[in-house]
Amino acid sequence: MDSFGTRLHAALDERGPLCVGIDPHSQLLAHWGLEDDLAGLEKFSRTVVEALGDRVAALKPQSAFFERHGSRGIAVLESVVREARAAGALVILDVKRGDIGSTMAAYAHAYLDPTSPLAVDAVTVSPYLGFGSLSPIIDTAAAHGGGVFVLALTSNPEGPQVQHAITTEGVTVAQTMLDAVADLNEGAVPLGSFGVVVGATIGETAHDISRLNGPILVPGLGTQGGRPEDLRRIFGESAAAILPSYSREVLAHGPSVTGLRDAAGRALEECRAALQPNVNG
């Protein structure tokens, strides 16, 4: 299998810079006229895949919304992953796992080993037990052509308490993570498989992402306050590797398949326009 970086690069070229979350939380289920139960979960998730699986570069199920329904919810997640990948979308499972040793190796097998029923293209992980704790999942991703997105500069207001803290080396914790991911991607062509999560609402930041050579997953657009026009201002020359991620802004237009497709189309065009190089300098 081609590396995740290669597959994502091709998907961005073919389908454009857009990831849509699959977040079946109770408010959205109610908005769609669905019950907050297993049937509602399945109807919601499969409608999103039907509407967008053959159109967007990536779909990003939030694992917690499936886990809360127990084993039957996980079974729905397995089906959603299979159907999304069959439709041609890359699947990024938003799990934000972070652990050590054999436990992290088990997470790696669950999500990135092709023999697992939950195997996806990439996962989100938390590095705050130390970047070295991610080694099992990084090694598994490298072995099987998977991807890993490391939380670096998140959009939640509590994030800076840890991410902006200064290390003994005189740089922020977030910069340490950015540099570690960049080291993993060194020399990768056309794009590294190891990315970072950087929120669209972080505003001006002195953090250096110029060496990353990998994808940047950018949540926080739409309802959370981030705007497409912020993307080039925040990311500059790294804009070519950005994967903007929308959830409620698109999902609120369901359960109509046409409504979901139209909302995703508008988001994509706005992101494309915002990420175009500034020919006027």
The CATH number covering residue 111 comes to: 3.20.20.70
Looking at residue 53, the DSSP 8-state letter turns out to be T
Residue 280 has pLDDT above 70, yes or no: no
Q: What is the residue type of 35?
A: E
- The stretch 54-82 carries a mean pLDDT of 98
Q: Which residues span the domain enclosing 127?
A: 4-273
The answer to the question of residue 116 being in a domain is yes
Q: Are 198 and 152 in contact (CB under 8 A)?
A: yes
- How far apart CA 48 and CA 51 sit, in angstroms, is 5
Q: Which of 227, 228, 224, 178 is nearest to 198 (CA)?
A: 178
The structural domain count of the chain equals 1
Q: What is the pLDDT of residues 135-164, one digit of tens each?
A: 999 999 999 999 999 999 998 889 999 999
| Tokens linked to 257 | 């398949």
First to last CA, the chain: 39
Q: Which helix (H) or strand (E) holds 194?
A: strand 194-198
The answer to the question of residue 155 being in a domain is yes
- How far apart CA 175 and CA 243 sit, in angstroms, is 20
- How far apart CA 75 and CA 60 sit, in angstroms, is 16
- How far apart CA 196 and CA 125 sit, in angstroms, is 9
The answer to the question of residue 233 being in a domain is yes
Strands 242-246 and 194-198: unpaired
- How far apart CA 150 and CA 147 sit, in angstroms, is 10
Residue 245 has pLDDT above 60, yes or no: yes
- How far apart CA 19 and CA 39 sit, in angstroms, is 25
- How far apart CA 96 and CA 40 sit, in angstroms, is 24
Residue 260 vs residue 202, higher pLDDT:
260
The answer to the question of residue 280 being in a domain is no
Q: Tell me the catalytic residues.
A: 96
Task: Please tell me whether the overall predicted TM-score, pTM, comes out greater than 0.85 for this model.
Answer: yes
Given pLDDT bands bounded at 50, 70 and 90, which one contains residue 279? very low
- The stretch 60-89 carries a mean pLDDT of 98
pLDDT more than 90, % of the chain: 83
Residue 231's pLDDT is 86
| Tokens linked to 131 | 């970047």
- How far apart CA 132 and CA 221 sit, in angstroms, is 30
The SS3 of residue 236 is helix
| Tokens linked to 251 | 């999902």
The answer to the question of residue 98 being in a domain is yes
Q: What is the residue type of 32?
A: W
Contacts 24+ apart (CB under 8 A), 157-160: 159/199
Q: Are 98 and 132 in contact (CB under 8 A)?
A: no
Given pLDDT bands bounded at 50, 70 and 90, which one contains residue 234? confident
pLDDT more than 70, % of the chain: 97
Residue 120's pLDDT is 98
The answer to the question of residue 279 being in a domain is no
The answer to the question of residue 110 being in a domain is yes
The answer to the question of residue 200 being in a domain is yes
